[in-house]
Amino acid sequence: MEDDDGAHSGHPGRLLIIGGAEDRCHGARLLERFVELCGGSAARIVLVTTATGQPDLVHAGYERVFRRLGADQTIQLRLHGRADADGDEAAKVLEDATGVFISGGDQSRLRTLVGSRINDILRDRLHGDGLVIAGTSAGATALGRTMILGGEGPDVSAATVHTGPGLGLIPKVLIDMHFGERGRLPRLLSAVALDPDHLGVGIDENTGILVEGDSFEVLGRGVVTVADAEHATVVHAAGDDDPITLFGVRLHLLPSGCIFNTGTREAAIGPAHERY
């Protein structure tokens, strides 16, 4: 268990996966929850800014809001390339962290972390050492075994979504972000049609899911959309630009307070006191 000076806890950690554009000023409830989970005033937060093209600006912004929320220790981890992600310096920075926050930006930059020593440390500490890991926008989609790298369009087709390997911190779940605001349901359905074994989870802005074990709780102002094509009928088109035939897919719309079990693939309404 975790002691009073923030030592490692010896129990599984949690994931806070945010759809982007989280409020940093008027309440900052999602970030406040993250700081609380990391230990409050005893939190030691590592901010991974690999995805952004403005790492110092992003670091300054998050450091300011985390300090306002009671956490005085925020260290930036930039990881310019694979050598950094496999190096001793980055590993040492993560050694004493109680929380890791992966910023938004361009998720293709996060591919340098996939399969790296840092990836292994994050996975090991998440599953057995009580580490809290959060990701927003690009940092959110990178947390799945598969991450969305891009794509757009009105059709459910292979051309509508581009994916690649992710960090694998939440198995068999594929995350999309800025979901309702950018009309990304066709992209999410395309992704699960191409890999029906994965649950598609689309997260609106200023909205997040708190993952613990096989379940997650919805937090924030928007809605989380879950697309389950496990038992759907999928007929792939001849060309990537042609529509995929998809029927029998299950769709769940989950506002704050709802619970989803990724093992049983069932949704429920949580206790009223847990609502945002």
pLDDT digits (tens, 9 = 90+) for 28-58: 999 999 999 999 999 999 999 999 999 999 9
Rounded CA gap, 208 and 204, in Å? 8
- pLDDT tens for each residue of the chain, 276 residues long: 344 444 455 678 999 999 999 999 988 999 999 999 999 999 999 999 999 999 999 999 999 999 999 999 999 999 999 999 999 999 999 999 999 999 999 999 999 999 999 999 999 999 999 999 999 999 999 999 999 999 999 999 999 999 999 999 999 999 999 999 999 999 999 999 999 999 999 999 999 999 999 999 999 999 999 999 999 999 999 999 999 999 999 999 999 999 999 999 999 998 754 445
Do the domain assignments include residue 246? yes
Residue 190 near residue 165 (C-beta atoms within 8 A): no
Q: What residue ranges in the chain does DSSP mark as E strands? A: 14-18, 44-48, 73-77, 99-102, 132-136, 146-150, 162-165, 173-177, 199-203, 207-212, 215-220, 223-228, 233-235, 245-247, 250-255, 258-261, 266-269
Q: What is the pLDDT of residue 7?
A: 47
Q: Is 95 a catalytic residue?
A: no
Which CATH number is 29's domain given? Answer: 3.40.50.880
Domain that holds residue 47: 14-262
**What pLDDT is recorded for position 272?**
56
pLDDT for the residue 76: 98
Known catalytic residue: 162?
Answer: no
**Number of structural domains in the chain:** 1
273 found inside a domain = no
User: What pLDDT score does 26 carry?
Assistant: 81
Q: Which residues pair with 234 in a beta bridge?
A: 246
Give 267: exposed, middle or buried? Use CB within 10 Å, 0-12, 13-18, 19+.
middle
Question: What pLDDT is stored for residue 178 in this prediction?
Answer: 98
pTM here?
A: 0.95
The predicted pLDDT at position 9 comes to 57
Which entry of 137, 157, 190, 256 is annotated as an active-site residue? 137
Q: Is residue 113 in a domain?
A: yes
- Active-site annotation holder among 178, 198, 217, 256: 178
The residue from 59, 63, 198, 205 that is catalytic is 205
**Six token digits for residue 46:** 């590592």
Instruction: Please check whether residue 208 lies inside any domain of the structure.
Output: yes
Residue 205 counted as domain residue: yes
Note whether residue 184 is domain-resident: yes
Residue 233 in domain: yes
Q: Does the residue 269 lie in any domain? A: no
